[in-house]
Amino acid sequence: MQHFQAIALFAFLSIITPGPNNLMIMTSSMNFGVRKSLPHFFGIIVGFPLMLLAMGLGLNAVFESLPWFHNALLLFSLVMMVYLAWRIASFSPAANALGNTPCK
């Protein structure tokens, strides 16, 4: 029961705080409109519970039994974050490959 309460508190706090998901959705909606931001929104709605479910079903045991997998995942995450930071820093609305322009 103690673990359930900790997960429920984590989920609740993650939902109500202005974290990265909320900021990304806000920015995407302002730049591209609500309709084009819906796939991103639904990805967050599905992804967050899946993350909680995976941890609740024992993904931590995989990390404990295969420490190299945990390290590989950390390295992949670091590379992905640097790539995304570079993409954000070099983004210009005029050069957007999808042809989307920010909403006015």
Tens digit of each residue's pLDDT, the chain (104 residues): 667 787 788 778 777 777 788 888 888 888 898 899 999 989 988 988 888 888 888 888 888 899 899 899 999 999 999 998 998 888 876 655 555 555 55
Cα-Cα-Cα-Cα dihedral of 21, 24, 25, 30, to 10°?
160
Q: What gap in Å lies between CA 75 and CA 72, rounded to an integer?
A: 5
| Cβ atoms of 44 and 25 closer than 8 Å | yes
* pTM of the predicted model as reported, rounded to 2 decimal places: 0.53
Domain-by-domain residue ranges, the chain? 2-95
